[in-house]
Structure 1
Amino acid sequence: MANEDRQPPKFIQFERARPHEVRAMIDRTPIAYVPFGALEWHGEHAALGLDGIKAEAICRAAAKISGGVLFPPVYWGAFHTLSFPFTFCYSKRAMKKLVRRTLNSLADWGFRSIILLTGHYPAAQITLLRAECRRLSRARGIGALGIPEQALALDLGYLGDHAAKWETSLLMAIDPTLVDLSRLPDDTGSLRQRGIEQGIMGICPKNTATADLGRQVLDTVASRLAATGTRMLTEGERPAEEIYRAHLAAFRRPLAAARRAFGVESSWEAVRFVLGSIWRQKHL
């Protein structure tokens, strides 16, 4: 009798579910949340799995709102990672195959709204996820969205960084035991020095990262992600396209966006840093 009266769960975790539970959730709320991350250096102060940890936490919070199936983070396959210790790097081709197979499988199983949220976001990975989600949406007539988390937090001033103010704040909000700011020197130097010496790309987190800021970002992105997942059930790709347009518009003035993201006044400093990062990704 107790089992008959039990309310169905709002969301389920795929790896912990039995087949009948997945079928029931697809019948009730066919939304899939798939977080993407990387195993990559994030300074001496932050956990190596930061990207996947934050993507999974955001997807979990969104699934609690909308319902659906939460999949485990995809840590393997990341490309364009930093040339630092304890960092795995794969090919773009491998990631493309993984993403396409994942999307096709989810659609075959009956999901009508699919969200790929990447916490690792070199430009090429953002472009790949967007292109593959568009391909699926147009081929199968369902909603699919592939974005980094900051695409839903632009109005907060979050344009993306690496192991800097914003990412560190998110990790502090999710699990403060995974951050130790005392590992950072009091003076982290210029943007270029932080990037080359410590793998920190953006505003130094030493005195700027806070759990409160991280919670604000997490709550904002999760609520908007949940709303988008629900809308795609009835509107198909339209909500995804709205997000893509807004995200791309934020970078129509790339120098201004880079100065804002990295917290520098000089366009030359921002350009020098970006070009140096691109060179290191290709040659190291």
Structure 2
Amino acid sequence: MQRILFSFIFCFFLATDLTAQNSISTREMDRINWMEFAEFVPEKINTVLLPTGTLEPHGVINNGADNTAPFAMAKAMADELNALIAPTLNYGITGSMAAYPGAFQITEEAYAPFIRDILKGLSKNGFKNIIILNGHGGGQTAVLQKVAADVANEQGVRTLVINWWSFASDVTLEVFKEDGGHAGLNETAYIQAIDPTLVHKERYNSDQATAYPKPGTWSAVPFPSSIGLYQEGQGYPNFNQAQADEYFKKVNAKVADLIKETIRKWDLAGL
């Protein structure tokens, strides 16, 4: 009986030790030790999530919402995707809102080679799947798509660029029954689910919002409002906490499913 008990205890601790060896201590690249990194990448982990954004006005939420959102998204899905999270690229091509207080504008001439070297560095470190979770649109999207495609072809890696708010527009309509906007109810609700202290609804008034113009009608720089609505009369931040939490979970699930399906099809094609 004692021999059986000893064998059971030995097997238990052996299994526990093996589990610990197969579990990574953190998913964040800037928090992991270099020796542990080498133990997991690329043998056990070959996918990396790169959050990208910028600093610009966002109505009643934080100027760094475009960074807050994709980083929180990456943290929410990293385990499910068996991915590491690269440090967020916090500065970007801000565009028509660059004149607002606290905003930063990085030129395309500076941004494109910088992001190229980051992607090449991720490739050099052994990642096969480089997933860019982009939190900021405008001209930044085109640059990311172009550079990511070039690096994929040059380095023999696989890249995916996702603008989460656009990809999840159907989730916005499902949860809120109307369209959103830049710093509209969709983006504001997502931030509310992450950290309610970053949302200041007491500062909101309807004059802060302007519907984006239809193509070919008008344009203004700086854009006259820090909230840009996709549809006239829709997208004001009139949601509750339950809706915010639901939206956060459903957006993350939709984005994670896209990533998993894309990787599955890459593998199926032998790419």
- Deviation digits for residues 127-173 of structure 1, max 9, x if unmatched? 11112222222233332011211243132246762111111111111
State the match for 1:129 in structure 2: 144
* Matching residue within 100, 109, 114 for 2:116: 100
Indicate the structure with greater helix content: 1
Task: Find the residue that maps to 1:14 and give its secondary structure.
Answer: coil
The equivalences for 1:69-108 within 5 A come to 69-80=84-95, 82=97, 83-108=99-124
Task: Find the residue that maps to 1:101 and give its secondary structure.
Answer: helix
Unaligned runs of 5+ residues in structure 1 are 240-284
How many residues in Structure 1 have an aligned counterpart in Structure 2? 235
Task: Find the residue that maps to 1:132 and give its secondary structure.
Answer: helix
* 106-115 or 127-136, which deviates more: 127-136
Task: Find the residue that maps to 1:127 and give its secondary structure.
Answer: helix
- Deviation digits for residues 91-150 of structure 1, max 9, x if unmatched? 01111112111111111111011111111111x211111122222222333320112112
Looking at structure 1, the residues matched to 210 and 92 of structure 2 have their Cα atoms a distance apart, in angstroms, of 31
1:170·1:211 contact (CA, 8 Å) conserved in 2?
Answer: no
Tell me by how many angstroms 1:15 deviates. Answer: 0.6
State the match for 2:202 in structure 1: 182
* Matching residue within 217, 224, 236 for 2:266: 236
Is 1:219 aligned with 2:249?
yes
Who wins on radius of gyration, i.e. which is larger?
2
| TM-score using structure 2 length | 0.75
Q: Identity across aligned pairs (percent)?
A: 22
Task: Find the residue that maps to 1:215 and give its secondary structure.
Answer: helix
The equivalences for 1:1-284 within 5 A come to 5-6=19-20, 7-9=22-24, 12-26=27-41, 27-43=43-59, 45-80=60-95, 82=97, 83-122=99-138, 124-157=139-172, 161-185=181-205, 188=208, 191=211, 198-202=225-229, 203-206=234-237, 208-233=238-263, 235-236=265-266
* 132-141 or 162-171, which deviates more: 132-141
Task: Find the residue that maps to 2:95 and give its secondary structure.
Answer: coil
Tell me by how many angstroms 1:181 deviates. Answer: 0.6
State the match for 1:246 in structure 2: none
Amino acid at match of 1:117: L
- Closer/same/farther in 2, CA of residues 157 and 186 from structure 1, 3 Å limit: closer
Amino acid at match of 2:44: R
CA-based RMSD of the aligned residues comes to 3.0
Tell me by how many angstroms 1:184 deviates. Answer: 1.1
